[in-house]
Amino acid sequence: MLPYTRFTLTPTTPTIGAEISGIQLSGQLSDETMSELRRALLEWKVLFFRDQTIDRSEHRDFASRWGSLEQHPFFKYTQPGQSEADIVTLAKDAMTGGVENNWHNDVSWHEFPSFAAVLRAVEVPPVGGDTLWADTGAAYELLPEGIKERIDQLVAEHDWINSFGKHMDPSTVAKLRPQFPAVRHPVVRVIPETGRKVLFVNLSFTQRIVGVSEAESDELLTLLYRHVHRPEFQVRLKWRTNTIAFWDNRTCQHYAASDYFPARRVMDRISIVGDRPVGTR
């Protein structure tokens, strides 16, 4: 394993999560630092940066270095003072309780689900409001061989209709449907840079496994979700103001614990466009 020379990396668990210290993401990051960050992201799936002095435009500049930015189609936040220029910034509403308290890969119902997200804690409750991530590569590796063989070539349907769609009126759903049809992605996704296999089904957005009976789809998805959600695959972050989490949305799932309302939890998120998931064949 190559060492990291541009910052200090401290693993949070044996396979997922690492705290990076010694750099400010608002600064001019050299190509060498970016290259080490990319390696760290691939190795640890989610990186934590404490005490970051960074404003929204610097946050956006950092995210832009990883690819094109994307806007969540159903969360067009309009916080006071937020302008069109902030459109890629998803700020969690200060006044609502839990959202995202279900395991998911962000927008897996997109044809091109996010590559990554950069999430900054703007305001956090005194206690609670942690985020958890689960390592879907480690989970895949520790599946029984017979299950791997059963799922390696399968494809699953992902959709927003049973999550976001449930909170919309029927006319809104009908209007959005042509723009966002259900999509199909491999159940086992291969990460091009590493060749690593990861599970790419999630409780929030995966509807069914295609080409098998409903009973078999239910059986497999239940088994896979229970497996991915084991604590051995997880890391849990206690936020502080100006903590940043930067995760690879391809190689881990996440869950925002909704245990703090009516305390406030305000986050700024910027997501980066990803590729079409590739399967094992």
Q: Which is nearer to Fe ion, 49 or 255 (CB)?
A: 255
Task: Say how far apart CA 248 and CA 115 lie, in whole Å.
Answer: 6
Interface with Fe ion (CB under 5 A), residue total: 2
Q: Which is nearer to Fe ion, 74 or 261 (CB)?
A: 74
Q: Which is nearer to Fe ion, 100 or 135 (CB)?
A: 100
- Please, what's the b/e burial string for 127-156 (b: 16 or more CB within 10 A of its CB; e: otherwise)? eebbbbbbbbbbbbeebeeeeeebbeebeb
Bond into 11 cis (ω within 30): no
State the minimum distance, in angstroms, from the CB of residue 257 to Fe ion: 13
The bridge status of strand 18-21 relative to strand 46-49 is: parallel
Do 94 and 123 form a contact (C-beta atoms < 8 A)? Answer: yes
Q: Which stretch binds Fe ion (CB under 5 A): 46-54, 100-108, 149-157, 209-217?
A: 100-108
Active site residue 110: no
State the minimum distance, in angstroms, from the CB of residue 259 to Fe ion: 17
Q: Which is nearer to Fe ion, 43 or 100 (CB)?
A: 100
State the minimum distance, in angstroms, from the CB of residue 115 to Fe ion: 14
Q: Residues 103 to 122: which contact Fe ion by CB under 5 A? A: 106
Active site residue 106: yes
Contact between 248 and Fe ion per CB under 5 A: no
Residues 40-69: x where in contact with Fe ion by CB under 5 A, - otherwise, as a string: ------------------------------
Q: Which position among 100, 135, 248, 268 is part of the footprint of Fe ion (CB under 5 A)? A: 100
Count CB neighbours of 235 within 10 A.
26
State the minimum distance, in angstroms, from the CB of residue 249 to Fe ion: 8
Active-site residue, selected from the candidate residues 56, 59, 106, 208: 106
Active-site residue, selected from the candidate residues 60, 158, 250, 254: 254
Cα 203 versus chain centre, distance: 13
Q: Which is nearer to Fe ion, 44 or 133 (CB)?
A: 133
Active-site residue, selected from the candidate residues 110, 208, 265, 269: 269
Taking alpha carbons only, the member of 48, 69, 45 closest to residue 57 is: 69
Active site residue 269: yes
Q: Which stretch binds Fe ion (CB under 5 A): 21-29, 96-104, 137-145, 230-238?
A: 96-104
Active site residue 152: no
Q: Which is nearer to Fe ion, 106 or 248 (CB)?
A: 106
What is the token pair recorded at 59? 């946050």
State the minimum distance, in angstroms, from the CB of residue 256 to Fe ion: 7
Active-site residue, selected from the candidate residues 59, 60, 104, 110: 104
Task: Say how far apart CA 244 and CA 52 lie, in whole Å.
Answer: 7
State the minimum distance, in angstroms, from the CB of residue 47 to Fe ion: 16
Catalytic residues: 104, 106, 254, 269
| Site residues (vs Fe ion, CB under 5 A) | 100, 106
